[in-house]
Amino acid sequence: MASEAAAETAAKPRGGRLCTICNTKRAALKRPKTLEQICKDCFYAVLEDEIHRVIVDNHIFKRGERVAIGASGGKDSTVLAYVMSELNRRHDYGLDLFLLSVDEGITGYRDDSLETVKRNEIQYGIPLKVVSYKDLYGWTMDEIVKLIGLKNNCTFCGVFRRQALDRGASLLKVDKIVTGHNADDIAETVLLNILRGDIARLSRCIYSPNAYRGFAREFIKDLERIRPRAILDIIKSGEDFRIATHTKMPEQGNCERCGYISSQKWCKACVLLDGLNRGLPKQGIGRTRGLDAERNKDSRETNGTQSLQSKQCGSLDF
């Protein structure tokens, strides 16, 4: 970009193309979403303004709410932290903001990102609260891996992490959680749900960590190169899909062990934890009977853990 700008400066006596928004400063970048050539300040301005519009148009917050910002230390949550604190101040949302970070208890892994979040706390003046797997579940990932090895640890970490944000927020009496999921993430999820046959998730869009995501991610990057707006078009399609009402959707109820939201008798985390606590590392690994198994079906079979033990993938009623 710097060399491009330099070349432009060399070619045009005035100092290159002007920003198409303010027409004053020199254009510093081409905005991926719209391909507009704009200056740095206008770029910040449009980004912040668009996010503000989304917040206002969708009535996302109420005055006085306690809002936890899911903070991983990555670029998305850092931008989120900055934007939330800035907009809260600038437009006087009246929100009580703080950063919520999850510590999985993996030595050497979270240390750097936690440092970044601590920096964010200082930079943006938002208090930081860290919840650990140890606090929430009684196990760190290191301890889990020691017990079950490296084969299915991703399942554990993913399930726990998904709930950790929720559980942590609930512990801290939070009204809303905000996360830094961006259009690429949503588009990727829509795609994955189509590819994997997850019609229930297609209407709920839940993040699920998965090696298979790599395929979809690669494809989306290639797609973006050809047509940047395609990412937003995927999201639009996802919103416009009309799903037949007679399609079986999982019933949402509550876990009998901990009260967390669950479509089964026990939530996934409880199933896994129970396994860990009883020295049964395979419990809950592999697919349970049918993605949309209804709760009453399940209660017929369950009197403990037998039906929840790992089943061969081939027994899926697809």
Partner 1 sequence: MACNSASCESGCYKDDERPVAANGNASNPRRGGVNVPGVCLKCKINQTIAVTHPAVAGSAGEGGRFCADCFRSNLLGKFRFAVTSNAMISPSDNILVAFSGGSASRYFILFSHVLVTQKNFDASRERERVLPVFGVGVAYIDETTMCAEASSEFGEAANEVELIVSNLTPPTKQFLAIPTESIYSPELAVGRDSLKRLGDVVRDLTGKEDLNKHLRMLSLQKAAFDNGYNKIVLGTCTSRIACHVLEATVKGQGFSLAADIQYVDARWKVPVVLPLRDCLSEELNMLCSLDSLKTVEASQQPRAGINGLISSFVKLLQEENPSRESTIVRTAGKLTPFSFNKTPEVDDPNERLATKRRQKKYNLKPDKSQPPESFCLVCSSPLKKSNTSGLNGLALEETSAVIYAAACSSCQYQILPKDTSSMEHFLSLLPQSITTLAKDSSDSHMFLREQIQDLLLSDSDDGT
Residue 32 binding partner 1, by CB under 8 A: no
Number of residues counted as binding partner 1 (CB under 8 A)? 47
DSSP label at residue 96: E
180 carries a ligand binding annotation: yes
Classified as helix, coil or strand, 43 is: helix
Helices 110-124 and 75-90 pack at an angle, to 10 degrees, of: 10
Residue 220's contacts (CB-CB under 8 Å, 6 or more residues apart) are 184, 187, 188, 191, 231, 234
According to CB under 8 A, which one of 228, 250, 286, 290 is a site residue for partner 1? 286
Minimum distance of partner 1 from residue 150's CB (angstroms): 8
Contact 104, 160 (CB under 8 A): yes
Residue 172 binding partner 1, by CB under 8 A: no
- Tokens 């006596």 belong to which residue? 13
Toward partner 1, which CB reaches closer, 36 or 86? 36
Residue 9 binding partner 1, by CB under 8 A: no
Residue 79's contacts (CB-CB under 8 Å, 6 or more residues apart) are 180
Minimum distance of partner 1 from residue 151's CB (angstroms): 5
Residue 90 binding partner 1, by CB under 8 A: no
Toward partner 1, which CB reaches closer, 111 or 218? 218
Toward partner 1, which CB reaches closer, 96 or 239? 239
101 carries a ligand binding annotation: no
According to CB under 8 A, which one of 244, 279, 300, 306 is a site residue for partner 1? 244
For residue 64 the two structure tokens come to: 């006085």
240 carries a ligand binding annotation: no
CA distances 307 to 151, 284, 296, Å, are 22, 9, 13
One-letter amino acid identity for 253? G
Classified as helix, coil or strand, 128 is: strand
Toward partner 1, which CB reaches closer, 95 or 187? 187
Toward partner 1, which CB reaches closer, 11 or 318? 318
Distance, CA of 38 to CA of 28 (rounded, Å)? 6
Residues within the annotated binding site for ATP?
Answer: 70-72, 76, 102, 180, 185
The contact set with partner 1 (CB under 8 A) reads 151-152, 154-155, 190-191, 193-199, 202, 210-212, 215, 219, 222-223, 226-227, 229-230, 232-234, 236-247, 286-287, 312-314, 316, 318
